[in-house]
Structure 1
Amino acid sequence: MDIGSLVRLRIKTKDGKSPTVQITKRLFNEMGFNVGSRVFMVFKVSCVELI
């Protein structure tokens, strides 16, 4: 989902969870992500927002 200068992505994990992440459009384009791309997620626990 395109939200201004950010892109919101839903990630499917092996255990069936679907966390949503936001990255900049620039990073999205630089990384060449596509539907079905395999990714490795790393994040700071203090940056997690439960909704």
Structure 2
Amino acid sequence: EAKTEQLFDAKDYNAAYGLNQRRYDMLKDDAIIMHPGPINRGVEWDGDLVEAP
């Protein structure tokens, strides 16, 4: 049986687990961020960070 109940809405998920600017700023300069894609902008990553250097 498929589970249909969501534990988080997109905003709550992003706040708890997503890559946001605050978390990005804490990374070391040589950090490598990997994601298998496609990225869910605004959920897994803040939209502005998708194109970040």
TM surpasses 0.5:
no
Larger helix proportion, structure 1 or 2? 2
TM-score by length of 2: 0.23
Larger strand proportion, structure 1 or 2? 1
Structure showing greater Rg: 2
**Of the two structures, which has the highest relative contact order with CA contacts closer than 8 Å and spacing of 6 or more?**
2
TM-score by length of 1: 0.23
